[in-house]
Amino acid sequence: MTSSREDLILRYGGPAPRYTSYPTANHFGPVGPADVRDALGGASRELKVYVHTPFCQKLCWYCGCNTVIRRDTRIGAEHVDRVLAELDLLAPHLPADARMRRLDLGGGTPNFLETDALVRLVRGLEAVLPPAATGPEYASELDPRTVTDAHLDTFLELGFRRFSLGVQTLEPVVQEAVNRPMPRERVGEITHILRRGGARSVNFDLMVGLPHQTRETLDRTLDTVLGVQPDRLAVFQYAHIPSLRPAQKHLERAGLPGPMERDTLMRHAVERLTSAGYCRIGFDHFAVPSDPLAVAAREGRLGRDFQGFTTDAHLDLLALGPSAIGHIDGLFTQNDRDPGRWADSIARATLPVVRGWRLTDEDRRTGRFIHDLMCCGSARWEDGGIAGDAREQAVAALEPMVHDGLVRIDDTGIAVQPAGVDFVRQVAAVFDRYLAQPALHASVA
């Protein structure tokens, strides 16, 4: 007998890692400047660069990011000084002909930086890492509440062509409950300016599972979003972890949808977006069929890194700023999360990295297996080096999912079925040997 949706959610719907890396960042251990310098000797000649600006002017109650609330945007100039000083510490150890293939600005709020600081940041990065000769891509997150038209013009003049707007919700009663008010029409105005200026891809981040979200309130947000027609969307289910993010306790006063309600909202969003012509990418991304992300998914080239699903996960990632996570020649690195300690390290001419992980051969094989599950929906035992007792244990753990039609297993490997896409993280967790109890219900990472 086929299990009901409620049974599936109760059985398999527990929290699980998002697998933007393997091992996941909560398992990282001590890593120091010498480890980073050694790894840079084997770095790829073309690099991705990620810059984390932790500052926001106002805290959204749902936020799980590493943010610092500041109202005075002039401190952004000092932040740029420190980021460029951090790059100067790394520069002597980079390959002589290193180039920047991709630049991602994230946060916090990248447009917290005033326009002159933003120009100085990008030009300073380019002075050390010139843009790649072909195909450089500059992308930035934007807070549509605070980004100005002058910001948008500056981003475009600097060569940014891909943008991600933190929309989350456009319903006033939900915005009030999460402390994120924003005029409904602003996202359309911003998208129009960006496209007029040459932007090739505009993404909207949406969130389900917030207070006062119902099918009707979600539909009103989706109606506006589909009217604007962004090129990509990421639809995240809200993760309630007030023990780690105390501000989230504010949401409890307004009431939060339960697991079944949240699942219903997510499935409704999937139905509306796919009916509107968007391709579902992985478990929570969507793109128009012509978007490079959708093309990569169709051609089996989809990747996954700390920015989510991507088309260039094969490149090494140089990370700058507090809490930023990089990946250089098989070494994961994470800077000090505290902006003060991060700045103090740079003032002492010491790289601010404090955590990370050196991949073993087994890590690489398991990581490839999990990557293939997340990005392709299938994986081969041979590629993951999964054999003998390990394979038998995995097959036994997944037997309930096989029975429920969520996965298919044969002698070559495992394939996630259409009904199992929503549970692919739980499937991947079975193969994660660093989880305390590698089973279908895994801890968040």
441, burial (CB in 10 Å: exposed 0-12, middle 13-18, buried 19+): middle
Which tokens belong to 379? Answer: 């994986």
Task: Judge contact between 156 and 114, C-beta under 8 A.
Answer: no
Task: Judge contact between 71 and 125, C-beta under 8 A.
Answer: no
Task: Judge contact between 415 and 407, C-beta under 8 A.
Answer: yes
Between CA 372 and CA 380 the distance in angstroms is: 8
* End-to-end Cα separation, the chain, in angstroms: 33
Between CA 417 and CA 407 the distance in angstroms is: 5
**Alpha-carbon torsion (80, 341, 105, 153), positive or negative:** negative
* H helix intervals, 74-148: 75-90, 115-128
Q: How much of the chain is helix, strand and coil, in % rounded to 5?
A: 40, 20, 35
pTM for this one? 0.94
Please give the chain's pLDDT, 445 residues, in tens: 468 999 999 999 888 999 999 999 999 999 999 999 999 999 999 999 999 999 999 999 999 888 899 999 999 999 999 999 999 999 999 999 999 999 999 999 999 999 999 999 999 999 999 999 988 999 999 999 999 999 999 999 999 999 999 999 999 999 999 999 999 999 999 999 999 999 999 999 999 999 999 999 999 999 999 999 999 999 999 989 898 889 999 999 889 999 999 999 999 999 999 999 999 999 999 999 999 999 999 999 999 988 889 988 789 999 999 999 999 999 999 999 999 999 999 999 999 999 999 999 999 999 999 999 999 999 999 999 999 999 999 999 999 999 999 999 999 999 999 999 999 999 999 999 998 654 433 333 3
Between CA 228 and CA 207 the distance in angstroms is: 17
Three-state secondary structure string covering 24-67: CHHHCEECCHHHHHHHHCCCCCEEEEEEEECEECCCCCCCCCCC
Which residue from 153, 90, 166 is spatially nearest to 116, judged by alpha carbons?
A: 153
Q: Which residues of 165-193 are buried (b: 16+ CB within 10 A; e: fewer)?
A: bbbbbbbeebbebbebebeeeebbebbeb
Between CA 305 and CA 367 the distance in angstroms is: 12
Between CA 45 and CA 229 the distance in angstroms is: 36
Which tokens belong to 310? Answer: 């991507």
- Specify which residues 12 forms β-bridges with: none
Which tokens belong to 231? Answer: 């090129």
**For residue range 171-181, what is the model confidence (pLDDT) as tens digits?**
999 999 999 99
pLDDT reported for residue 442: 33
Which tokens belong to 201? Answer: 């891809």
Residue 436's CB: how many other CB atoms inside 10 A?
Answer: 7
Between CA 287 and CA 298 the distance in angstroms is: 12
CA 124 to chain centre: 25
Q: Which residue type sits at 217?
A: T
